[in-house]
């Protein structure tokens, strides 16, 4: 895994990698931040595409956030190097409970959360069921809480996701096609990125985890409709969207914006589902300002 530079050196996959037992699960995450023990905590939760992990989603943002916050990039259950069990509840609830167990193990009382797509659904469920553990929420094109008003379901990005996940032998070209739906600028989808995500996604254990995650949505579909509970969120929320998001289109933001009592919305132009990559400088500044003020 590549090294990511910072003012004090480089963060690598290896030197930030941590693994702990959290309740019944072993969870993997990356951690960096100020030496000060009272630094505020930011927990970042990745999306759910094939080959996704905390590092693949947010590794490039870690140097910025680590300057200001104790920052954790968590591999959610069924992803990355975390355990890949069969969830006994809908995925958002299952993953949120795992996050609370992780916080307990690390003695983190409260944290800010950034949730992208699937991770946005987990962060939302955590704020609904465990509001005392959450300071502020930044939700990026989140799942569960958005409801498409003008865009047809399934969206283009979800169709390409299904094509890869359901293929008996998924191909690199299918991976490239899926990743291209996540961005506005297709140049971001390099051969290196395709190869890295394809290798991770086709690992047998990763494929099993993805199948188990998907099965939980099929078993408890109504429990994932978080937009019906959005009015109960008591924490400050910043909704962020790429205007050209082809996975969770921007019209999905409007119900959440109206329903959440303390919500605001920021839309990035010329940006898809990966604002943290395509609009990295603006995203980092926006998130830092929101969490610190």
Which residue numbers are catalytic? 273
CA of 253: how far to CAs of 141, 189, 224, 227, 259, in Å? Answer: 8, 26, 16, 10, 10
**Cα–Cα distance for residue pair 184/193, rounded to 1 Å:** 16
Q: Encode the chain in three state secondary structure.
A: CCCEEECCEEECHHHHEEEEEECCEEEEEEEECCCCCCCCEEEEECCCCCCCCHHHHHHHHHHHHHCCCEEEEECCCCCCCCCCCCCCCCHHHHHHHHHHHHHHHCCCCCEEEEEECHHHHHHHHHHHHCHHHEEEEEEECCCCCCCCCCCCCCCHHHHHHHHHHHCCCCCHHHHHHHHHCCCCCHHHCCHHHHHHHHHHHCCHHHHHHHHHHHHHHHHCCHHHCHHHHHHHCCCCEEEEEECCCCCCCHHHHHHHHHHCCCEEEEEECCCCCCHHHHCHHHHHHHHHHHHHC
Report yes or no: 74 and 144 within 8 Å, Cβ to Cβ. no
- Rounded Cα distance, 142 and 248, in Å: 7
d(CA 163, CA 116): 21
């Amino acid at each position: 895994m590549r090294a990511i530079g910072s003012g004090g050196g480089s963060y690598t996959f290896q030197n930030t990698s941590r693994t702990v037992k959290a309740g019944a699960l072993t969870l993997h995450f990356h951690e960096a931040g100020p030496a000060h023990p009272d630094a505020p905590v930011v927990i970042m939760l990745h999306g759910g595409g094939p080959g996704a992990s905390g590092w693949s989603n947010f590794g490039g943002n870690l140097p910025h956030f680590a300057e200001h916050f104790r920052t954790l990039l968590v591999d959610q259950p069924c992803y990355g190097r975390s355990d890949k069990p069969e969830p006994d509840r809908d995925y958002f609830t299952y993953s949120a409970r795992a996050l609370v167990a992780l916080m307990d193990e690390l003695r983190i009382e409260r944290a800010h959360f950034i949730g992208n797509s699937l991770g946005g659904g987990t962060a939302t469920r955590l704020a609904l069921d465990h509001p005392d553990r959450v300071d502020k929420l930044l939700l990026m094109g989140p799942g569960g809480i958005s409801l498409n008003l003008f865009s047809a379901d399934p969206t283009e990005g979800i169709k390409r996701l299904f094509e890869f996940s359901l293929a008996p032998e998924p191909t690199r070209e299918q991976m490239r096609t899926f990743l291209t739906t996540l961005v506005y600028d297709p140049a971001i989808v390099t051969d290196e990125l395709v190869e890295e995500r394809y290798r991770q996604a086709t690992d047998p254990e990763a494929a099993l985890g993805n199948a188990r995650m998907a099965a939980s949505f099929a078993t408890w579909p109504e429990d994932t409709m978080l937009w019906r509970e959005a009015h109960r969120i008591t924490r400050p929320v910043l909704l962020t969207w790429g205007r050209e998001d082809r996975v969770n289109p921007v019209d999905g933001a409007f119900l959440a914006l109206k329903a959440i009592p303390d919500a605001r919305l920021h839309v990035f132009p010329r940006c898809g589902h990966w604002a943290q990559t395509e609009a990295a400088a603006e995203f980092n500044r926006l998130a830092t300002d929101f969490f610190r003020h």
